[in-house]
Amino acid sequence: MSIVVTGATGHLGRLVVEQLLAAGTPAGEIAAAVRTKEKAVGLAEQGVELRIADYDAPETLTGAFTEGDRVLLISGNEVGRRAAQHQAVIDAAKAAGVARLAYTGVLGGPGADFQLAAEHKATEQAILGSGLPYTFLRNGWYTENYTDNLAPVLEHGAVVGNAGDGRVASAARADYAAAAAAVLTGEGHLGRAYELSGDTAWSFAEYAAEVAKQTGKDITYNVVSAEANRQILAAAGLAEGFAAILVDVDRAIERGLLAHRNGDLARLIGRPTTPLADTVAEALTKQ
């Protein structure tokens, strides 16, 4: 039996492995499921087992899981292809007889009505239909979704969006990784759906003010129409389809769908979630 982390070389997956190791899980009991082993050399050097698992190549998934494994299915990042990719993982996990399957979905679960949530909802239904023992980790927004893109904010002196006065209860990616590690190693989580979000919901005006405070620059929040934001994102090089999805997310934020807080994340990790200011400060060290 192993704890298997899919997408283990991605931003979240690598952090989950780090959290498992830091919590005392023996490296030999952790398996990193990756597309290519070349990107996971660092994990192998720590004693973590590497298994090939390509969401787009179901034949590779048959060897990715074994009976009794505890598996974390980290959602893919190719919007529009994820439902089929996740189904392939679910089918392989069921065939292998894994002991539990945890899935990183989206805050709100069935109640999330924005476009980006559709494949997450379909995946949850597929897991329920599989009969596998499950835990749903419905992740809210990562603060890094914004702080990783500080360069244009600093260049133009503005945070731009069509979210109005909506608020985001975000948390650091490491917080969500710690929650996943807790579920993978702990008991009492089967059949549960956790709504995971930060302790504090902030507005984009507050985000702009925090960046201004830490940099000494004049940073404002410019509210634009959905169409104007779509054009701005497209002009910045985003594909039309993805730009439309981000505009739709801002609409969801304006409706309050990513401001939900119930304390699940802090309870799972046993501490307060990482404040916005801390993640901004970390991101600024990389500018």
Report pLDDT digits (tens) over 3-36: 999 999 999 999 999 999 999 999 999 999 999 8
Domain membership flag for residue 119: yes
What's the predicted TM-score (pTM) here? Answer: 0.96
In total, how many domains does the chain have?
1
Query: What's the pLDDT band for 1 if we cut at 50, 70, 90?
Result: confident
Domain membership flag for residue 80: yes
User: Which residues contact residue 174 at a Cβ distance below 8 angstroms, ignoring those fewer than 6 apart?
Assistant: 15, 19, 274
Average pLDDT, the chain: 96
How deeply is 100 buried, as exposed, middle or buried, from its count of CB atoms within 10 A (0-12, 13-18, 19+)? buried
Domain membership flag for residue 19: yes
Domain membership flag for residue 24: yes
Strand partners, 32: 5, 50
Identify the pLDDT of residue 28: 96
Query: Domain limits at 74?
Result: 3-140+172-197+260-273
Query: What's the pLDDT band for 228 if we cut at 50, 70, 90?
Result: very high
Whether 281 shows a pLDDT value over 90: the answer reads yes
pLDDT tens-digit readout, 52-92: 999 999 999 988 999 999 999 999 988 888 999 999 999 99
User: Residues 99-128: what's their mean pLDDT?
Assistant: 96
By C-alpha distance, which of 69, 58, 57, 59 is closest to 32? 69
User: Residues 236-252: what's their mean pLDDT?
Assistant: 94
Domain membership flag for residue 17: yes
How deeply is 40 buried, as exposed, middle or buried, from its count of CB atoms within 10 A (0-12, 13-18, 19+)? buried
Domain membership flag for residue 234: no
Domain membership flag for residue 118: yes
pLDDT tens-digit readout, 170-225: 999 999 999 999 999 999 999 999 999 999 999 999 999 999 999 999 999 999 99
Q: Dig out the tokens for 214 from the structure.
A: 């830490």
CATH number assigned to the domain comprising residue 186: 3.40.50.720
Domain membership flag for residue 279: no
